[in-house]
């Protein structure tokens, strides 16, 4: 499977705390990567395969590349929605796309992507596990 034929998107939400902001009064740019992680974790949970299960099976998906565009600013106490989509799933890597919205006005705050390798617990490259392919297939039906 190169690309899921049907886009598979899952959504989760997060409330901004003080600890996420910086002195510019907005969320510090590195914290969006925490939200990406939360987004893909909830994506996997929602298709029935929590990342903790993937790890128990001996697989890791370390991030090999990330990018993010900051369109607007998230602020203290904002409720943000994190939309995650697995947009590519190759032999030994997979890619997620993200969109972050402010819940109050539905405006897109940021978009981004992460590319992941598939490895065993020692870092050796592995094929994407079958349990993931099966969970994706079931979820896209």
Residues catalogued as catalytic: 22
Kindly tell me which residue out of 2, 25, 105, 106 binds a copy of itself, with binding defined by CB under 8 A. Answer: 25
Stretch that binds a copy of itself, among 26-34, 80-88, 90-98, 129-137 (CB under 8 A): 26-34
C-alpha atoms less than 13 angstroms from C-alpha of 99 in its C-beta half-sphere: 12
Q: Binding to a copy of itself (CB under 8 A): which residues in 75-134?
A: 75-77, 123
In the bound complex, what is the minimum distance in angstroms from residue 76's beta carbon to a copy of itself? 6
**Binding of a copy of itself by 50 (CB under 8 A):** yes
Non-local CB neighbours of 7 within 8 Å, separated by 6+ positions:
85, 87
C-alpha atoms less than 13 angstroms from C-alpha of 82 in its C-beta half-sphere: 23
Stretch that binds a copy of itself, among 3-11, 68-76, 87-95, 129-137 (CB under 8 A): 68-76
Instruction: Label residue 49 exposed, middle or buried (CB < 10 Å: 0-12, 13-18, 19+).
Output: buried
Is there a contact between 109 and 45 (Cβ–Cβ < 8 Å)? no
Distance CA(54)–CA(85), nearest Å, equals 18
Residues that bind a copy of itself (CB under 8 A): 15, 17-19, 21-26, 28-31, 33-34, 37-38, 41, 50-52, 60, 62-70, 73, 75-77, 123
């Amino acid at each position: 499977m190169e690309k899921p034929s049907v886009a598979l998107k899952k959504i989760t939400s997060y409330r901004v705390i003080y600890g996420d902001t910086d002195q510019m009064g907005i969320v510090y740019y590195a914290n969006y990567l925490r939200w990406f992680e939360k987004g893909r974790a909830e994506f996997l949970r929602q298709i029935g395969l929590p990342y903790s299960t993937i790890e128990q099976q001996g697989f890791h998906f370390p991030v090999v590349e990330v990018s993010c565009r900051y369109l607007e600013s998230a602020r203290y106490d904002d409720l943000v929605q994190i939309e995650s989509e697995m947009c590519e799933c190759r032999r030994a890597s997979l890619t997620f796309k993200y969109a972050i919205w402010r819940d109050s006005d539905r405006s897109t705050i940021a978009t981004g992507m992460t590319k992941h390798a598939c490895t065993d617990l020692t870092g050796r490259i592995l094929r994407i596990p079958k349990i993931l392919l099966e969970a994706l297939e079931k979820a896209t039906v």
